[in-house]
Amino acid sequence: MKKDSKAGKGGELHQTSSDPNSTITTQQGVPVSDDQNSLKVGSSGPTLLEDFVVREKIFHFDHERIPERVVHARGFGVHGYFETYKSLSKITKADIFQRAGEKTPLFVRFSTVAGNKGSADLARDVRGFAVKFYTKQGNWDLVGNNIPVFFIQDGIKFPDLIHAAKDEPDTGFPQAATAHDNFWDFISLTPEAMHMVMWTMSDRAIPRSFRFMEGFGVHTYRLVNAEGISTFVKFIWKPKQGLQSVLWNEAVKINGADPDFHRRDLWNSIQQGSFPEWELGLQLFDEDFVNKFDFDVLDPTKLIPEELVPIQKVGRMVLDRTVDNFFAETEQVAFCTSNIVPGIDFSNDPLLQIRNFSYLDTQLKRLGSPNFAQLPINAPKCPMMHFQQDGHMAMQNLKGRVNYEPNSFGGPRENPATGFSSFPEELKGPKGRHRSETFADHYSQARQFYISQTSIEQDHMADALIFELSKVEKLSIRELMVGHLQNIDEDFAQKVANGLGMKTMPPPAKAAKPTKKELPPSPELSILKNGPNNFKGRKLGILVSDGADVKCLSSLKAAAAKEGTDIAIIAPTIGGIDASDGSHIDADFKINGGPSVLFDAVAVVVSPDGAAMLANEATAKDFLSDAFAHLKFIAYNNAATLLLTKAGIDSSIDEGFVELKVSTDAAKFFKLCHKLRVWDRQDKVKMPS
Ligand code: HDE
């Protein structure tokens, strides 16, 4: 799966060379004679300060780390391109949207929010979805999330939110988890967070893959055309792969089995040539809509249902290239919401306004120099002409005597016609620390999100809240939260109260505005209503043993190839197995390193001897019992029935099992897998919530 690092050109750093006699050098290019031993007096003597080779090496090592991002520290970036479907010149002059078929290079970084750089991928958390478009008129950064709303309405509360969400300052834990008192204390005292909390307690916060998530710009922006006419816009990324999440119990186990699950998934799918795609959708609206909409379009805790403003798909993003170097690209990429281009403009969303300060500021802290835009990953791919100069690590320096404007020697000059100009919105009002009255409804859209979910998803939300609040030690915080839930949906509140073992219902939280119960469900807000209805890009784990029926395996492989499903072979040892016809089959995982949580569905194809041997292996039984508990489809051959029995599974319990008797059974199995999970099984594998 790994690429060889490419050798640089002359004058550049060569990391690897096909010449076995090439010589390691210092940073100064001095050839090194011994890279194993430091310079000493005698064989047991002290090391000499004179050893410039070791000093340079250790000095550099000591300074390898840069501060991790204060939020979104754990991320994964890849390259791709955006292809414009049709000219949008009527609504925007943004160069990227002028020509059908135009391809614009881009870099995407997906992330979690709360955890440190080394935290696990399957934390229950919001996912960052940041895209840097290298357009011909400068870089445009669309720094979004996989959730369309946010916790707070004014950026002044962001440090409080993040302090509360991250590890507590005295203990330094929990890591990458909001299931603790500080987070829920802050949330319970912040009614505006309720809509977002419904999302973070939904399966959106435990995606199966970055490839199966939507992305949202969150804020309202403006598009401005050549005549200066502005249209409001919300940006939305729709994955062509469909939406999919995991179950919480599965997430917890994936974190143990493969903390890099999301990174590996994206890396592998791109390396295998299966390039994930998203379509960019625009929700366009004007002042008329703004005036009649129930909520304020500048309030980042609200979304605009697609039923009210349909999405227009204007292009597609294809992710087709992994990075050469994680640090140089993923770690050093510097997104700034303030990076916009002519034809796109900000709105007065108070969160966006503060973000526009924060991102530039934080990059200076992280990257240590105002010249971070000169790093290749951050540099625009269009010409740049300015008189900014010097500073730490300046690599692109002005030539000639002129470093000011105006000057009488020549250009560049400002250009009022083509240069970026802000939309001339007329504004007036008293200076003050305001919170608009139009931001005061905190529960209506939270309720709308809840009633838009299937009952399965509603159960997951209740389970998530019960799990999280059960980790909260202070009873009054739990009670206050249930009080908020009562303003969202009383049955939901009751379910959570029951799950928390509350004997009496706490009073509803005080609401600034009553909940609008008449808002209709919006089916687009549900994951299960927007599944892929195929098994493409998903993964089947096949547990095998020596003597496994080769015909059965071949039929599974052929059917998987037809579906576009990836398969992995899990065997008793990493050496693989000898199948029924004596042919050797390589393994991808040894059984204890390839638990079923890593796969979307599983199959067991074993010989009678293999089944008897695996029946004593705890991880083989876990493979099946977890697949069952995680509602996965299970295919098996006759000899595997012993393993099912040992794992305590009755295969007649539901429609999720396919016995592989004849070659057509494999295709039958994959057809079932289109549903991704056996949702009807859910009630059989857990106590009622
Ligand atoms: Fe961020 N956010 N944020 N944020 N955010 C950062 O910038 C901040 C917000 C988002 O992959 C930081 O480079 C403030 C909303 C993503 O490199 C920092 C506020 C949304 C990423 C910062 C918000 C986001 C960040 C930390 C409230 C969704 C990762 C490191 C006013 C629309 C970008 C950095 C990457 C990163 C500040 C709220 C998305 C500190 C002050 C809302 C995807 O600048």
Buried b (16+ CB within 10 A) or exposed e, 55-81: eebeeeeeeeeeeebebbbbbbbbbbb
pLDDT band at 429 (very low <50, low <70, confident <90, very high): very high
Side-chain-side CA neighbours of residue 257 (13 Å): 24
Spatial separation of the C-alpha atoms in residues 287 and 291, rounded to whole Å? 6
Within a domain: residue 388?
Answer: no
- Strand residues in 51-93 grouped as ranges (E): 75-84
Residue 198, both tokens: 């419904």
Which residues contact residue 133 at a Cβ distance below 8 angstroms, ignoring those fewer than 6 apart?
A: 82, 96, 104, 105, 106, 139, 140, 141, 142
Q: What's the CATH number where 670 sits?
A: 3.40.50.880
Assess whether 47 and 97 both reside in one domain: no
Q: Is residue 8 part of a domain?
A: yes
Q: For residues 205 and 91, state if they share a domain.
A: yes
Q: What is the pLDDT of residue 7?
A: 44
Degrees to nearest 5, angle at CA 68 with 63 and 73 = 150
CATH of the domain at 3: 4.10.91.20
**Both tokens assigned to 628:** 């069952």
Q: Output the domain CATH number for residue 155.
A: 2.40.180.10
Orientation angle between helical segments 618-629 and 248-257, nearest 10 degrees: 150
pLDDT digits over 559-581, tens only? 999 999 999 999 999 999 999 99
* Contact residues for 501 (Cβ-Cβ < 8 A; gap 6+): none
- Looking at the structure of the chain, the number of domains it has is 3
Which DSSP string corresponds to 488-549?
A: H-HHHHHHHHHHTT-SSPPPPPP-SS---TTPPP-GGG-SGGG--SS-TT-EEEEEE-TT--
Please provide the DSSP assignment of 215-280 as one string. Answer: EE--S-EEEE-TT--EEEEEEEEEETT---B--HHHHHHHHHH-TTHHHHHHHHHHHTT---EEEE
Q: Whose CA is nearest to atom 29 of ligand 1?
A: 72
Distances in Å between the alpha carbon of 559 and those of 273, 344, 469, 562? Answer: 19, 47, 44, 5
Domain limit, last residue, from 29, 45, 64 = 64
The answer to the question of residue 551 being in a domain is yes
pLDDT value, residue 688: 73
Query: Do 88 and 42 share a structural domain?
Result: no
Of the pLDDT bands very low, low, confident and very high (cuts 50, 70, 90), residue 6 is: very low
The Cα 498–Cα 493 span in angstroms is 9
Same domain, 102 and 51: no
pLDDT at 14: 74
Q: Are strands 566-571 and 539-544 parallel, antiparallel or unpaired?
A: parallel
Q: Which pLDDT does position 437 carry in this prediction?
A: 97
Token duo for residue 445: 């859209």
> Among the three residues 64, 83, 107, which one is the final residue of a domain in this structure?
64
Point out the ligand 1 atom lying closest to the alpha carbon of residue 216: 32
Report whether residue 355 contacts ligand 1, using a CB cutoff of 6 Å. yes
Residue 379 lies in a domain: no
Distance 195 CA to ligand 1 centre (A): 19
**What is d(CA 12, CA 127) in angstroms, rounded to the nearest whole number?**
36
Question: Does one domain contain both 166 and 247?
Answer: yes
With CA atoms as reference, report the closest residue to 198 among 500, 488, 483, 486: 488
Boundaries of domain holding 276: 75-374
> Measured from the CA of 75, which atom of ligand 1 is nearest?
11
8 Å CB contact between 203 and 141: no
Is 173:116 a contact under the CB 8 Å cutoff?
no
Domain shared by 666 and 544, yes or no: yes
**Ligand 1 within 6 A of CB of 165:** no
**What pLDDT does 689 receive?**
64
My answer on whether 55 and 102 are in the same domain is: no
324 and 361 share one domain:
yes
Q: Which atom of ligand 1 is nearest to the CA of 158?
A: 27
CA distance 434 to 299: 13
| Ligand 1 pocket member 145 (CB < 6 A) | yes
Mean pLDDT of the residues in the chain = 96
How does DSSP classify residue 40?
B
Same domain, 13 and 38: yes
Neighbouring CB atoms inside 10 A of 287's CB total 11
The answer to whether residue 339 scores a pLDDT higher than 60 is yes
Beta strands 601-605; 589-590: pairing state? unpaired
Question: Is residue 47 in some structural domain?
Answer: yes
**Domain annotation covers residue 498:** no
The residues that bridge with 235 in the sheet, in sequence order, are 282
The β-bridge partners of 216 are: 145, 236
Residue 5: which pLDDT band, with cuts at 50, 70 and 90? very low
Residue 538, in any domain of the structure: yes
Contacts of 624 (CB under 8 A, 6+ apart): 596, 602, 604, 634, 643, 644, 647, 649
Specify whether 120 is located in the same domain as 58. Answer: no
Mark which of 313, 345, 374 sits at the end of a domain.
374
- 197-207 per-residue burial string, b: 16 or more CB within 10 A, e: under 16: bbbbbbbbbbb
72 is known as an active-site residue: yes
Q: What average pLDDT does the segment 419-443 reach?
A: 97
Q: What is the pTM of this model?
A: 0.97
pLDDT at 9: 60
Among 66, 111, 139, 143, say which to mutate for ligand 1: greatest number of ligand atoms within 8 Å of CB: 143
In angstroms, the CA 206 to CA 250 distance is: 10
State whether 163 and 227 are in the same domain. Answer: yes
Spacing, Cα 352 to ligand 1 middle (Å) = 10
Whether 81 and 37 share a structural domain: no
3-state SS, 109-140, equals EEEECCCCCCCCCCCCCCEEEEEEEEECCEEE
Give me the catalytic one of 139, 145, 146, 378. Answer: 145
145 is catalytic: yes
Task: Give 376-395 pLDDT, tens digit per residue.
Answer: 999 999 999 999 999 999 99
pLDDT of residue 687: 79
Of 174-183, 537-546, 596-605, 679-688, which range is least confident?
A: 679-688
- Nearest residue (by CA) to ligand 1, atom 43, is 128
Nearest to 129 by CA among 211, 201, 251: 211
CA–CA dist 84, 556 (Å, integer):
39
pLDDT tens, position by position, 587-646: 999 999 999 999 999 999 999 999 999 999 999 999 999 999 999 999 999 999 999 999
Q: What is the mean pLDDT of residues 184-203?
A: 98
The answer on pLDDT for 10 being more than 80 is no
- CA-angle at 364, arms to 360 and 367, nearest 5°: 120
**Could you report the per-residue pLDDT of 126-177, keeping only the tens digit for each?**
999 999 999 999 999 999 999 999 999 999 999 999 999 999 999 999 999 9
- Over residues 509-529, the mean pLDDT reads 98
316 close to 82: Cβ distance less than 8 angstroms: yes
Q: Cα Rg for the chain, rounded, in angstroms?
A: 28
Is residue 146 a part of any domain in this protein? yes
Residues 12, 10: Cα–Cα separation, whole Å = 5
The token pair that represents 180 in the structure block: 């603790």
Q: Which atom of ligand 1 is nearest to the CA of 154?
A: 31
